[in-house]
Amino acid sequence: MPTVRDTTYDLLRAWGLTTVFGNPGSNELPFLDGFPADFRYVLGLHEGAVLAMADGYAQATGRPALVNLHSAAGLGNAMGNLANARASNTPLVVTAGQQARAMIGLGSVLAEPAMTRVPEPHVKWAFEPARAQDVPRALSEAFHLAVLPPAGPVFVSLPLDDWAREVDVDEVAHLGARRVRAAGAATPELVAELAGRLARAQAPALVVGPEVDDERAFATVVALAERLAVPVWTAPTPPRCPFPTRHPLWRGVLPPSIAGVAEHLTGHDLVLVLGAPVFRYHAYRPGPWLPAGAELVAVSADPASAARAAFGDALVADVAAVAAQLLDALPGTPGRPAPAPIERPAEGEPGDAPFRAGGVFALMARTLPRGVRMVNESTSNTSQFWEHLDLAGPRGLFFPAAGGLGFGLPAAVGVALADPGRPVVAVLGDGAVQYGVAGLWTAAQWNLPITFVVLRNGTYGALRGFVDQLGVTGTPGLDLPGVDAVRIAEGYGLPARRIADGAELAAELAAVAPDRGPRLVELPILGETRRLG
């Protein structure tokens, strides 16, 4: 009879999970014994980097990724980026090796009787099979749960002595062929009701979120916005980019505060939110939820976010399906003039360093080749980044959705592994780099087309922005003297340089290409703070 290991690898092939992201320990070695030639193992030097690499890979491909961590301690190392994956609704099958079953209850090294509690609350489901023969079925459940809306990470604890056990063929015969799918269209009555509200509205607006960031939803929502001729905002604190940023209807990103959202939506009587929670605030600036006279309807596949909202109506359904239904139900253009495109800040060519962040991002928009994928973890100048961003399609931008640093650098590795034919530019703060720096080694080992752009302002700039806002003074721990990202990158085997003027920067950005290996450039930038929200 086949073993648990043989059966598991057959299932992973059937599901397309032949890339394993991991950092192995003794508990995981029996799973990796005789590692199949048709699989690839992506080694990360820290479990946090491993999780973020898998997160970036899954977001870029739109398919689940498999993560193999080491015991409870390794799982704990990955928790910060697991929070980002949960907030991004990234479908991950996260596993960790458990001690041999006979050792679990003895307080043994690398044993954790409560292993399934370690990743809570950042997984949809956590399970440890009651017997070895249950491992394949448990992994099947994990795979399907990770993908079903709302997608997200799941966790399975795997005792090390389960892998060599035999499995009854009849028990696992149908697991690889199963399909579990969600059907999320709205009823005709609901579509007619929503279409009627949109048709009657005098000044509707759209707010779009991360559920729109796939090919089908992206194209359908753009078509709906054009049919309605309405302004479109991106929801606050977005982990991805769900609308073309140079489209004349796009208005930018809503601020992450209660009052800020209401101020930006002033003048609109109906707000249709597609694929976003209502809303993910950050800065506490209270006020009315919506401007006077405005109503809100949200469409999302996430029942928890629909129930949690403090205002507005909600429809739990597939966003792409509902948008397509609305396109069919609505008449032609409403006759209202389309809003004028937003004005973007004018930025000249960057001169000598230190640079202004806006000038750097404007140069990126002018210089980078089309099709580049962007990762952003420079949190002190996110607003300048969005002002100049030029993305025309889905799955082109990746951002730490929970706000946890350490996602950006290794996530860029996963994004590049997903499609090495598309170069990646990772924009990172000098503080953020330190949280995921181990990912540089993996980028070098796989010779991935990534340009790591480190914006060095010598401080935790995002926190500087909160100092005045929160009315605090004399705060320690905000400065970062003596950090040299160039020398660090060289130690991991990457070419690296410090940019001194705009011409050097323009040349570096123009050289970004699929056949160019990883490199790091450090840009001294001016410390700029903007009020959040």
Tell me the catalytic residues.
Answer: 25-26, 28, 47, 70, 282, 403
Measure CA of the first residue to CA of the last residue in the chain; give whole Å. Answer: 61
**Residue 170: exposure state from Cβ atoms within 10 A (0-12, 13-18, ≥19):** exposed
CA pair distance 250, 221, nearest whole angstrom: 12
**What strand order describes the sheet that includes 450-456?**
397-398, 373-377, 424-429, 450-456, 519-524, 496-498
Distance of CA 377 to the CA centre of its chain: 11
Write the CB contacts of 416 (distance below 8 Å, at least 6 apart in sequence): 373, 422, 423, 424, 443, 446, 448, 449, 450
Residue ranges in 23-134 assigned as alpha helix (H): 29-32, 47-61, 71-77, 79-88
Picking from 24, 292, 129, 274, the residue whose alpha carbon sits closest to that of residue 32 is 24
- CA torsion, ordered 41, 46, 50, 56, to nearest 10 deg: -130
Which amino acid is it at 183? A
Instruction: Give kind and range of the element (H or E) at residue 252.
Output: strand 250-253
Residue ranges in 419-482 assigned as alpha helix (H): 430-435, 439-445, 461-470
CB 102 within 8 A of CB 90: no
Instruction: Give me the count of residues in the chain.
Output: 533
